[in-house]
Amino acid sequence: MIKLDPVPLPIDHLPGRGARGDLALLDKAGSLDFAALERLTGQTAAWLATLGLAAGDRIASWLPKTRLACVLPMAAPRAGLVHVPINPMLKRAQVAHILADSGSTVLITQGARAETLHEADVPAGCRCVDETAVACADVMPASRADPAALAAILYTSGSTGRPKGVMLSHANLWLGAISVAHYLGIAASDRVLGVLPLSFDYGQNQLFSTWAAGACYAPLDYLTARDVVKAVERVEATTLAGVPPLWVQLLEADWPAATAARLRRLTNSGGALTPRLIRGLRERFPAADLYPMYGLTEAFRSTYLAPHLVDAHPDAMGRAIPFAEVMVSRADGSQADPGEAGELVHAGPLVAQGYWRDAERTALRFRDAPAWAASGGKAVWSGDTVVKGADGLFRFVGRDDEMIKSAGNRISPTEIEEAVLAGGEVPEAVALGVADARLGQAIVVVARGDGAAEPALRARLRRDLPSFMQPSRYVWLETLPRNSNGKLDRAGLKAAVADL
């Protein structure tokens, strides 16, 4: 069990807590040690204080992984402001929605990005500031903010509709960083390559947990898998986080054996690892511990599977991370028995404060914890169906809104996808339920490839899957679309397939 200070510190206290290495940040501009990082954070906060904003005002950033983008998540809360990071992959319509919805009074960006915005995209009262203007000689000291105060609003990717803002407190972010640094065993000697967007809770936590452990963070904006391979060698990375589509790309890349051997820790979230992917990662990175993880922005992260359990339980989500209480509820709110499917409910101090300016959706997702839970207060009712086995490990069944209902059967798309990928005929695939007059929903598989593998795939699945789980048809694409966080865009694929 982790020992905590009686009151969690504000998030801007993170750099250099406890033992630390020499380097905190390694980027295109050079390197910063922890003393320099603290000074830059204080200077940025002091500059923000000159803007005449009120406490709690929202300040948005729309930047690639520049040095300022790495510092703003701590500098803005230090100045009493709420940081709203916008994914640099988003386009003007999505940026305009986030600015308007958050009520941001300042947007820090780059000139070329600002030029893509129309005048109507920036709400009245919101100023656009070029990141090169952010400079100050003064240094604001670390804050003494209430840990429950709002520190950030992270917007979801919006693949299933307009992005919604999840409200996170200092304590949410701080405890998430300590939790992850603890169970990953990050050491001061580690160098963490940051390829995930800093607007993604997974990517931002990687930044915070690295610094909480006193380790070095190396941000990377990449275009190809080869860029990641070269960066691992260049920065001598020991840790890499990704989502399943990225692992597929990295396994298809050419890795010098010595470069692959540098990695000691691989972490995955944003989708389950298939047994095939696990085998590939084991073979390519034999020196690396593998950490499959499950999370949702509304509660940051719920479970992780310890590396020593991965090979024996490749289908498992693992157990609750530190500071999380994770449980399985029946539809009537009672506790599910071991082995019984139910809704995953997450309670405890990692639960976010709700959706920004959206009381209706907040009431649906953030509800009182079950009476039988150890944690009181609000819990996140995830909408995900899971099972907790007698071994204490959680296993994912599917999202309620993604389950395929065909001929009276509830079918997990994950199970179909794992079966499709198991034979190696295709590198990526998504299983969808599409409206069908006879079946209710027909199973459609969208796969990457030219279709040449379809006869062999159909023949194998006739052997491996029962008749009610057989795909009715296949759609073949050269590439599968991804959302701004690198996940496969299921909602977009489903809409496209429905029109075919």
Query: Residues 67-102: pLDDT tens digits?
Result: 999 999 999 999 999 999 998 988 888 899 999 999
pLDDT of residue 463: 86
Task: Report DSSP letters for 31-89, one per residue.
Answer: EE-HHHHHHHHHHHHHHHHTT-PPTT-EEEEE-SS-HHHHHHHHHHHHTT-EEEEE-TT
Of the residues 388, 416, 451, which one is the last residue of a structural domain? 388
- Do 324 and 421 lie in one domain? The reply is no
- Which strands, in side-by-side order, build the sheet including 473-477? 429-436, 440-448, 473-477
- Do 384 and 409 lie in one domain? The reply is no
Query: Where do the DSSP E strands lie in 360-457?
Result: 366-368, 378-388, 394-399, 404-406, 409-411, 429-436, 440-448
Q: Are 219 and 361 in contact (CB under 8 A)?
A: no
- Do 328 and 242 lie in one domain? The reply is yes
Give a yes or no: residue 155 inside a domain: yes
Query: Could you give the 3-state DSSP secondary structure of residue 225?
Result: helix
Query: Could you give the 3-state DSSP secondary structure of residue 126?
Result: coil
Q: Are 35 and 43 in contact (CB under 8 A)?
A: no
Give a yes or no: residue 5 inside a domain: no
Is pLDDT at 158 greater than 60 in this prediction?
no
Give a yes or no: residue 4 inside a domain: no
Query: What residues contact residue 393 under an 8 Å CB cut-off, 6+ apart?
Result: 305, 309, 313, 316, 317, 318, 319
Give a yes or no: residue 450 inside a domain: yes
The better pLDDT of the pair 412, 323 is held by 323
pLDDT of residue 6: 42
Least confident of 110-119, 234-243, 268-277, 344-353: 268-277
Q: Containing H/E element for 328?
A: strand 325-329
Q: What share of the chain is helix, strand, coil (3-state, %, to 5)?
A: 30, 25, 45
- Do 338 and 467 lie in one domain? The reply is no
pLDDT band at 159 (very low <50, low <70, confident <90, very high): very low
Give a yes or no: residue 101 inside a domain: yes
Least confident of 83-87, 410-414, 470-474: 410-414
pLDDT of residue 303: 98
Mean pLDDT over 402-419 rounds to 80
Query: Could you give the 3-state DSSP secondary structure of residue 168?
Result: strand
Query: Could you give the 3-state DSSP secondary structure of residue 454?
Result: helix
pLDDT band at 2 (very low <50, low <70, confident <90, very high): very low
Give a yes or no: residue 22 inside a domain: yes
Give a yes or no: residue 245 inside a domain: yes
Of the residues 366, 388, 410, which one is the last residue of a structural domain? 388
Query: What's the CATH number where 216 sits?
Result: 3.40.50.12780
Is pLDDT at 123 greater than 90 in this prediction?
yes
Widest pairwise Cα distance in the chain = 70
The better pLDDT of the pair 244, 367 is held by 367
- Do 438 and 315 lie in one domain? The reply is no
Cα distance between residue 20 and residue 389, in whole Å: 39
- Do 79 and 134 lie in one domain? The reply is yes
Give a yes or no: residue 115 inside a domain: yes
CA angle 234, 238, 243 (to 5 degrees): 100
Q: Are 103 and 165 in contact (CB under 8 A)?
A: no
- Do 408 and 480 lie in one domain? The reply is yes
Is pLDDT at 7 greater than 60 in this prediction?
no
Q: What are phi and psi of 488, to 5 degrees?
A: -65, 135
- Do 409 and 455 lie in one domain? The reply is yes
Cα distance between residue 64 and residue 37, in whole Å: 19
Domain span at residue 312 reads 11-388
Is pLDDT at 43 greater than 80 in this prediction?
yes
Mean pLDDT over 444-468 rounds to 91
Query: What's the CATH number where 470 sits?
Result: 3.30.300.30
pLDDT digits (tens, 9 = 90+) for 288-318: 999 999 998 999 999 999 999 999 999 999 9
- Do 19 and 142 lie in one domain? The reply is yes
- Do 469 and 375 lie in one domain? The reply is no
- Do 379 and 422 lie in one domain? The reply is no
pLDDT band at 20 (very low <50, low <70, confident <90, very high): low
- Do 328 and 463 lie in one domain? The reply is no
Is pLDDT at 485 greater than 90 in this prediction?
no
Q: CA separation (Å) from 436 to 78, 186, 472? A: 54, 50, 10
Number of domains in the chain: 2
